[in-house]
């Protein structure tokens, strides 16, 4: 039992670190560090840099599709270094979610048509799963696709669509038939966001920002070749998609960086004439989160060690999701608490690029409460934490 990297892995770690130091744009790094809202251009710029470095933008892709073909440990190291360097997290929809689906279930034509553009961030994807009346009970979705000749006619609505307003394409779960078992009539369809009948409406979240959208689909014509797999395969495909990148889901490197940010902030803030971080009660709260994160990191590594020795992974992704989001949320709460009164002023402009005014109270304080509220999403998205517990109860405990 040991936690040390091999000499080759250490060399790789150094290579990644050097590359990030040389090539990660400083302006994007500043935005990530300060918690300023990111734009599509930031993502595209960074993702293209990574893509041009031997496909580093797609750590999970095999070499035959232009990925680096890394081992699980190499992927982990890359993720760790990116977190430590405050890197912008690449957008998962095309790279992490759709691409493996196309590799596994797509036709040769579909792979040729889409994978290259995903790798180079030339086509931007969003995910069309949730509907206004289908959240945790995703299989109850009602968006209908009726086959007419060589097209499907799609009607319905998708919601909580992250980056829908940036997207060129949407991978979507639609109902192609009414079966007695609701999972059976679902299909996986790729929809052009510029097609007539597609309307994107912003949803402003509690932090005042526009990231998610509702998408309306009204008699949208989708060519039959945009169906992935067979009709009725949608549920199986969606489930397999959730199994990808399970060690990535916990976001341990990002949380480590956020803990460091919290400690720095608590060292600058003062209380009773001393740095806040010397306050025993506040320090104990930080420690409790750090301990959770330590456990999570080690659980992550245990999963990784299993994957590396060729074992089939189990339902660990649910555990990593629940514990990972609990830690993320706890840190946002402590960051907000660290600035005391100065969590209160609402300075919306400070959350976007180019704001030059004098901050109210500590620098960066004004983004902390909005971030705290925004991160409530993490225990809701990707299958709510309660749904994850249902999965663990069934899959692990047999209840």
**Contact assessment for residue 147 and residue 127, using Cβ atoms and an 8 Å cutoff:** no
Cβ burial 15-40 (10 Å sphere, 16+ → b, else e)? ebeebbeeebeeebbebbeebbbbee
How many residues make contact with another protein (CB under 8 A)? 41
Q: What does DSSP say about strands 198-204 and 186-192: parallel, antiparallel, or unpaired?
A: unpaired
CB of 269 to another protein, least distance (A): 17
Phi, psi of 147 (to 5 degrees): -80, 125
Please, which of residues 255-294 interact with another protein by CB under 8 A? 280, 283-284, 286-288, 290-292, 294
Q: At closest approach, how far in Å is the CB of 287 from another protein?
A: 4
CB neighbours of residue 91 within 10 Å: 23
Q: Give yes or no for residue 10 binding another protein (CB under 8 A).
A: no
Taking CB under 8 A as the rule, which mask of x and - marks residues 306-325 in contact with another protein? x-xx---------x--xx--
Residue range at the interface with another protein (CB under 8 A); choices 88-96, 112-120, 226-234, 382-390: 382-390
Contact 99, 115 (CB under 8 A): yes
Binding of residue 11 to another protein (CB under 8 A): no
Q: If DSSP codes are grouped into helix, strand and coil, which group holds residue 147?
A: strand
The reply on whether position 358 binds another protein by CB under 8 A is: no
**Piece in contact with another protein (CB under 8 A), picked from 106-114, 249-257, 361-369, 384-392:** 384-392
Region 322-351 residues binding another protein, contact defined as CB under 8 A: 322-323
Site string for another protein, 70-89 (x = CB under 8 A): ---x----------------
Report the residue number, 301 or 347, with the smaller CB distance to another protein. Answer: 301
Q: Is the dihedral of CA 212, 97, 372, 137 positive or negative?
A: positive
Q: What's the rounded Cα separation, in Å, for the pair 214 and 138?
A: 16
Residue 151 has phi, psi (to 5 degrees) of: -135, 155
Distance CA 191, CA 156 (A): 13
Contact 178, 186 (CB under 8 A): no
Q: Is 3 in the site for another protein (CB under 8 A)?
A: yes
What is the contact surface with another protein in residues (CB under 8 A)? Answer: 1-6, 9, 73, 280, 283-284, 286-288, 290-292, 294-296, 298-299, 301-302, 304-306, 308-309, 319, 322-323, 386, 389-390, 392-393, 396-399
């Amino acid at each position: 039992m040991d936690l040390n990297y091999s000499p080759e892995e250490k060399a790789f770690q150094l290579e990644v670190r050097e590359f990030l130091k040389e090539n990660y744009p400083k302006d994007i790094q500043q935005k990530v560090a300060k918690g300023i809202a990111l734009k599509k251009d930031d993502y595209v710029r960074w993702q293209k840099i990574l893509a041009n470095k031997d496909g580093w933008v797609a750590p999970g892709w095999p070499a035959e599709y232009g990925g680096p073909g890394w081992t699980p440990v190499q992927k982990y190291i890359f993720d760790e270094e990116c977190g430590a360097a405050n890197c912008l997290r690449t957008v998962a929809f095309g790279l992490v979610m759709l691409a493996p689906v196309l590799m596994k279930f797509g036709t040769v034509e579909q792979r040729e048509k889409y994978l290259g553009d995903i790798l180079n961030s030339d086509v931007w994807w969003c995910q069309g799963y949730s509907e206004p009346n289908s959240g945790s009970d995703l299989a109850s979705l009602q968006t209908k696709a009726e086959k007419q000749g060589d097209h499907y006619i799609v009607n319905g609505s998708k919601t909580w669509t992250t980056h829908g307003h940036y997207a060129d394409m949407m991978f979507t779960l639609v109902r192609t038939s009414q079966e007695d078992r609701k999972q059976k009539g679902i299909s996986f369809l790729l929809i052009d966001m510029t097609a007539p009948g597609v309307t994107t409406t912003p949803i402003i979240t509690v932090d005042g920002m526009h990231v998610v959208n509702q998408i309306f689909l009204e008699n949208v014509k989708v060519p039959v070749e945009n169906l992935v797999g067979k009709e009725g395969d949608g549920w199986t495909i969606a489930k397999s998609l959730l199994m990808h990148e399970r060690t990535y889901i916990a976001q341990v490197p990002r949380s480590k960086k956020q803990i460091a940010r919290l400690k720095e902030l608590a060292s600058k803030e003062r209380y009773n004439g001393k740095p806040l971080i010397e306050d025993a009660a506040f320090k104990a709260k930080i420690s409790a989160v750090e301990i959770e994160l330590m456990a999570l990191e080690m659980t992550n590594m245990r999963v990784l060690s299993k994957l590396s020795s060729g074992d089939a992974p189990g339902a660990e992704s649910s555990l990593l999701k629940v514990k990972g989001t609990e830690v993320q949320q706890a840190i946002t709460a402590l960051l907000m608490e660290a600035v005391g009164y100065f969590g209160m002023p609402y300075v919306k402009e400070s959350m976007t690029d180019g704001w030059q005014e004098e901050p109210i109270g500590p620098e960066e304080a004004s983004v902390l409460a909005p971030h705290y509220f925004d991160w409530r999403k993490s225990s809701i998205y990707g299958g709510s934490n309660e749904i994850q517990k249902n999965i663990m109860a069934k899959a692990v405990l047999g209840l």
